[in-house]
């Protein structure tokens, strides 16, 4: 009897697949960076979740709230920096409110979408994301293996990821992990200044699959918004 063998891709075949679009396997994201205390809280939670359950997707990124994410841009990084610098020219820092751990989709996040009332979307946050999206949109190019990450003012949700894509693989742990995260003794500020915008370049071996398992990133630029 001859066993069925599933062929695997060679390194050369993998490279050829990504070569279909100039710039693969790279993406760019522009994020709002929280204050150091909030960053430390996010890192504490994601580290604990990894230690207990082996979940890595939320911790694969530096702590951040996405303004625009995973954009396929083939322009030089200097052009991205110039475009975002222009769009931030008259933007001032604003107060971000952290409503704590909330479920979002299959994952868990710190909810930073709303004002202090916990209901009204923070207009400064949404406007900032819209500005950045408008600035980088002309620099984007299609990618054959690129998931769509278009900005939509009505569906935009500012958040800091604590548990994310791993839950698609282990939905059976959803309730257990949620309980675990909520019981972690990790303190975080109720508010922080939204005054740091950052540009990162990310890389993955396969953006159409479990990209977080091979994700790497590098910091490109930080802008500080005046208060």
Distance CA 192, CA 35 (A): 6
The domains found in the chain, sorted by start residue, are 24-224 (3.90.1140.10)
Closest to 21 measured CA to CA, from 203, 143, 141:
143
Task: Look at residue 126 in the predicted model and tell me its pLDDT.
Answer: 96
Mean pLDDT over residues 60-85, rounded? Answer: 94
- Which H or E run contains 110? strand 107-111
- 103-139 residue pLDDT tens: 999 999 999 999 999 999 999 999 999 999 999 999 9
Question: Does the structure show a pLDDT above 60 at 169?
Answer: yes
- 45-71 residue pLDDT tens: 999 999 999 999 999 999 999 999 989
Task: Look at residue 146 in the predicted model and tell me its pLDDT.
Answer: 52
- Residue 119: both structure tokens together: 């209901």
- Residue 90: both structure tokens together: 């008259």
Residue 145 confidence class, pLDDT cut points 50, 70, 90: low
Task: Look at residue 200 in the predicted model and tell me its pLDDT.
Answer: 96
Closest to 138 measured CA to CA, from 220, 215, 68:
68
Question: Does the structure show a pLDDT above 50 at 19?
Answer: no
- 204-213 residue pLDDT tens: 888 877 889 9
List of residues 6+ apart from 90 with CB closer than 8 A: none
Backbone dihedral angles phi then psi of residue 132, each to the nearest 5 degrees: -65, -40
Task: Look at residue 55 in the predicted model and tell me its pLDDT.
Answer: 97
């Amino acid at each position: 009897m001859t066993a069925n063998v599933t062929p695997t891709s060679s390194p050369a075949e993998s490279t050829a697949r990504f070569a279909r679009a100039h710039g693969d396997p790279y993406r760019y994201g522009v994020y709002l960076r929280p204050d150091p205390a909030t960053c430390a809280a996010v890192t504490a939670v994601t580290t604990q979740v990894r230690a207990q359950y082996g979940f890595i997707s939320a911790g694969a990124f530096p702590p951040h709230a996405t303004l625009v994410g995973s954009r396929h841009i083939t322009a030089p990084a200097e052009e991205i920096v110039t475009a975002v610098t222009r769009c931030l020219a008259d933007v001032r820092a604003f107060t971000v409110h952290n409503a704590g751990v909330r479920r979002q989709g299959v994952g868990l996040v710190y909810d930073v979408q709303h004002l202090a009332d916990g209901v009204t979307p923070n207009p400064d946050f949404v406007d900032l994301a819209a500005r950045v999206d408008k600035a980088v949109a002309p620099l984007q190019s299609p990618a054959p293996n690129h998931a769509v990450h278009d900005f939509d003012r009505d569906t935009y949700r500012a958040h800091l990821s604590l548990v994310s894509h791993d839950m698609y693989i282990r939905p059976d742990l959803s309730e257990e992990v949620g309980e675990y995260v909520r019981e972690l003794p990790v303190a975080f500020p109720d508010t922080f200044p939204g005054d740091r915008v950052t540009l990162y370049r990310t890389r993955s071996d396969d953006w159409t699959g479990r990209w977080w398992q091979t994700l790497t990133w590098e910091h490109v630029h930080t802008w500080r918004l005046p208060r």
